[in-house]
Structures are given as structure tokens and as C-alpha cells.
Amino acid sequence: MQNRRGFLKSSSIATLGLLSLSENLYSINKFPNRKIKISLMPGSVGINVNAYELINLAIKNNFDSIYPLINDLKKMSDLELNDYMGMMKSNSVSFDVCILPVDFSQTNSVFNDGIKVLKDYCNTMKKIESKGFCRWIMPTNNDLTYLKNFETHKSRLKECAKIIGDNGMKLGLEFVAPKTLMARDQFSFIRTINELRELIDAIDENNVGYQLDTFHLYCANHSVDDLRFLNKNDIIMCQLNDAVKGRSQDEQIDLERELPGKTGLINTTPFLNFLEEIGYEGTISAEPFNKDLNNMDNEEAAKVTFNSIKKSFEDAGIF
């Protein structure tokens, strides 16, 4: 599960460094009229930090939300966690969703082990008041035909959704669209929002929704019109990314992307205007898996990431 996304393992918790007043002025009143939150997901932009370093980076660079580094948060005492969340609240920072820690595409043993981890995660997720979990769905399988794979996903994700729902949270699912992935395995699977909609309808749990990424919308040749069936409560989280210059839609590679606005191949304005139109109040992050970004130090990577999303917001007239 973690090979594709490259989300980093949490390191040990360091002492929380307090930000200076000059660094913290922005966070005292963060554009209260903007409902969509800009989120920092460190692993997807090459940032390797612990929970305390992450909140410092977020505040210093004006993010509204951060990815919950569950393994770090679990180590905190109730007092430490309350202090941590107090620091977040005083700087108008909230928790984003967490990656679903369940690999539902493997053996029953692997899946059942993941369910145990999910139940453990839910205990912490409730404490930090996160919206829930999200997870991508790979568009191929080497062993299961489409229908068999569909039934496996339906039953296993339904089990996950019930556990998450019993804890008052939601599950967002993402289709992965690059055609370059389709030759990876013998059997094809979900790679469009239309197919994902069929799966979510079949799961039939009211806490299951969509994770939307402009890169996958682009690779699937979707437009905003393809999203018109969604309302704000259907969307669990969103991501803005740009495509790589010199490649067509069909030639894009899943783990090689750009920050939003870098090449201009993906115009994020219609997507953001759609989110604004339906009243979406969730998070937006970047997930470029970009080598140049990964080579930056943490401070620079956070700053560049925020500014790229901010510029997209400004272009759409919603910042």
C-alpha cells in the first residue's frame, strides 16, 4: 500500500518550538470567508517531519490543515495531545483526513490485519476530530477479473466504511486514471469517476464519498460536467496537481506530476469554481510526487507548495 504513495513513517516526537509573533501573524485571522482549506500533506511533497515539526511548518507557511501523523499522535499523553490541538486551534489549523491503513487488495490475512490497525487508528482519529479516511483504488489486478475485483472491493470497503461510520467519520475513495498503468497487470479495473460511482453505490454506506484529484480527472478526460452529480457532502477531500509537459493525457505517469500551475496543462480554475459553487468546505492539498520538490529542504518545499495552491485559488477568484 505504501510503496505507491510513499507516505513516510513518523519519526520520534521532538520538543515543540514556539513560533515568533512575526511568523504567526497570518494565522491569527486566516481569511475567514474562504471555506476551502489549504492542507499540508508532508509525504506527498517530500517533507520528512514529525508531528511537532509539521505543525510548525504549517503555521509558518500559512496552511489551514495538516495530515495527521497518527503514529506520533498516539505516543502523546492526553495532556500533550490537548496542548498540541490547542496550538492548532489558536492558529486556525485543523486535521485533514488520514490514509486508510487497510490493504483491501491483498490476502484475507493482510486485510484482517489492516482492519485491526483501522480500529486502533479510529481511537486517535476521534480524539483529533478528523473527518475520516481516504484511499486510492488501483486500476488493474493481476489475479481478479473486473467483476471479481469489484465484489472484493465492495465487501471489504463496506466493512471498512461501517467501522469508520461507527466512529462518526467518513471514507473517501479515489480513482487512479493514467492509461500508462493499464498495462501493468492482466485485468483492468476502475479508472474513471463513472466506474467509481458504481462501486460507491454498490457499497451503499452513507459515509462513503469521493477523493478528487485534478491529475486523475485530466488523465480520465473528465470535465466539471462529469462532477455535476456530486454535492459538497459527497466530497471527502481534494488534491490539485499539474501534468508533465511534453506528454499527452494518455502518456502521463502516475508518480510523475507537477505542482498546480507549474506547466498549465491542467487548468484548475473550473474545478475550484465548481467546488466553490457547491459550497465545498473540505481540504485541498498537492500530491505531485515530484523529484525537484523532494530535493528541497522542508521549509522551501512547504513554502513552494502553499504558494502554488494559493496561486490556483487566486486565479479562480476564491482566495
Which residue has 487497510 as its cell numbers? Answer: 102
Reading the block at residue 275, the C-alpha cell is: 467546488
Tens-of-pLDDT digits for all 319 residues of the chain? Answer: 344 444 333 333 333 443 333 344 344 345 556 889 999 999 999 999 999 999 999 999 999 999 999 999 999 999 999 999 999 999 999 999 999 999 999 999 999 999 999 999 999 999 999 999 999 999 999 999 999 999 999 999 999 999 999 999 999 999 999 999 999 999 999 999 999 999 999 999 999 999 999 999 999 999 999 999 999 999 999 999 999 999 999 999 999 999 999 999 999 999 999 999 999 999 999 999 999 999 999 999 999 999 999 999 999 999 7
Total Cβ atoms within 10 A of residue 77? 8
Nearest to 45 by CA among 214, 177, 241, 271: 241
Q: How far apart are CA 135 and CA 203, in angstroms?
A: 15
C-alpha dihedral, 193 to 194 to 196 to 199, nearest 10°: 170
Q: How far apart are CA 41 and CA 306, in angstroms?
A: 11
Nearest to 216 by CA among 194, 198, 234: 194
* pTM higher than the cut 0.85: yes
Any idea which architecture 32-316 has in CATH?
Alpha-Beta Barrel (3.20)
Which residue has 490537548 as its cell numbers? Answer: 82
Q: How far apart are CA 181 and CA 253, in angstroms?
A: 8
Q: Is 35 helix (H, G, I), strand (E, B) or coil?
A: coil
Q: How far apart are CA 180 and CA 253, in angstroms?
A: 6
Which residue has 498537492 as its cell numbers? Answer: 286
Q: How far apart are CA 201 and CA 211, in angstroms?
A: 15
